[in-house]
Amino acid sequence: MGWSDTWNDIISGGNPRWKVTNTDAHEKALAIFKQYVGGDPKDTSIFVPLAGDDPMVKILFDNGYSLTTIDLVPAAVEEMKKQFGSEADWTKEEKDNTIIWSHESGRVKLMIGDVLQRRPELENNFDAVYDKDSFGALQKDMRKGYCTRISEYVKSGGTVYLECKLRDNHEESKHMGPPFSLLAEDIMDETSYGNSFEHVKALGAVYDISMPMQQTGHILRRK
């Protein structure tokens, strides 16, 4: 099943997969994000790769942050737009094989396109990244290109808040996915985040999930 089919199944009431709709989980994630990102939200710009329709985007917006998201699946982005209210609040632009929806607030852009495509206009643009299960959804041969793009977009000293799955039988199951089971050493491989980022802290389980694995967190800092 491809990503478009997966999203069509989710939207039509099928298996929710990785989706987290629990308010308590969102509050815990937000508290950790604020702790490590710091600064005034109104002066903080966040990049959210492979965002889907993650409710945390709207929550971060409601807390004063500015956000740019990207996802390949139009249906997922349409679901995200609905969280912000009226369709009339959005303007559409198309360029470089990408659709960009801009919110009237001036603080949200939702991009439909390839996360691996180089985008010079985003370089050195973001103070932080909110990565929930995005890196952990990628096959190993895609991780280098993904992390290269992230490193281009994040300012020096910027923060990556990353959530990923961890199975109890990690060594036996780490090649099974997505979602892939990840430890800090997997995330910080030189072909992944390790080339341009420092690992600040392994947070352990950040909140409970209904799947038979842990939802763990990591804080990274741009070198």
**Mean pLDDT over each residue of the chain, to the nearest integer:** 93
Fold of 21-222: Rossmann fold (3.40.50)
If residue 28 lies in a helix (H) or strand (E), which one and from where to where? helix 23-37
Please list, in sequence order, all residues whose beta carbon lies within 8 angstroms of the beta carbon of residue 82, skipping any fewer than 6 positions away: none
Mean pLDDT of 120-142: 97
Q: 115 CB contacts (<8 Å, ≥6 apart)?
A: 49, 50, 70, 71, 72, 134, 146, 149
Distances (CA, A) of 15 to 11, 81, 177, 211: 9, 21, 16, 12
**Is 179 in contact with 137 (CB distance < 8 Å)?**
yes
- pTM for the model stands at 0.92
Find all residues with CB under 8 Å of 76, minimum gap 6, and list them. Answer: 7, 51, 52, 53
Domain boundaries, the chain: 21-222
Taking the C-alpha atoms of residue 50 and residue 72, their distance in angstroms, rounded to an integer, is 7
Cβ atoms of 108 and 84 within 8 Å: the answer is yes
Q: pLDDT tens-digit profile of 66-104? A: 999 999 999 999 999 999 989 999 999 999 999 999 999
Q: What percentage of the chain exceeds 90 in pLDDT?
A: 88
pLDDT surpasses 60 at 7: no
Residue 217 CA to residue 103 CA, distance in Å, equals 29
CA distances from 65 to 60, 105, 109 (A): 6, 11, 12
Q: Spell 8-43 as b/e; 16+ CB within 10 A means b.
A: eebeeeeeeebebeeeebbebbbebbbebbeeebee
pLDDT at residue 9 tops 60: no
The answer on pLDDT for 157 being more than 70 is yes
Please give the structure tokens belonging to residue 85: 């209210």
